[in-house]
């Protein structure tokens, strides 16, 4: 998947996800989105504010995961 495709999909999620934040339900929602849309499997340690707390951090995290493949 191209980086721009990743950013476009995460922007689509931005319209669905109303309030970014550290609350556990929002992090789980973001994790499920990443797993479903990008086919990535996240560890419990990866489901955190640092990786999924904002749209920007989610985009950076997904791009790094794809680079590591």
Average confidence (pLDDT) over 13-42? 82
Residue 69's pLDDT is 82
Q: What is the pTM of this model?
A: 0.82
Q: According to the model, what pLDDT value does residue 1 have? A: 83
Distance CA 28, CA 52 (A): 9
Report helix angle 3-16 to 55-68, nearest 10.
150
Annotated domain spans of the chain: 3-68
Percent of the chain clearing pLDDT 90 (strictly above): 49
């Amino acid at each position: 998947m191209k980086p721009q495709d990743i950013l476009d999909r995460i922007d689509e999620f931005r319209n669905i996800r109303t309030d970014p934040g550290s609350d556990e339900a929002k992090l789980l929602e973001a994790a499920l989105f990443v797993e479903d849309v990008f086919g990535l499997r996240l560890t419990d340690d990866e489901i955190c504010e640092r990786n999924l707390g904002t749209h920007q951090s989610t985009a950076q995290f997904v791009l790094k995961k794809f680079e590591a493949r």
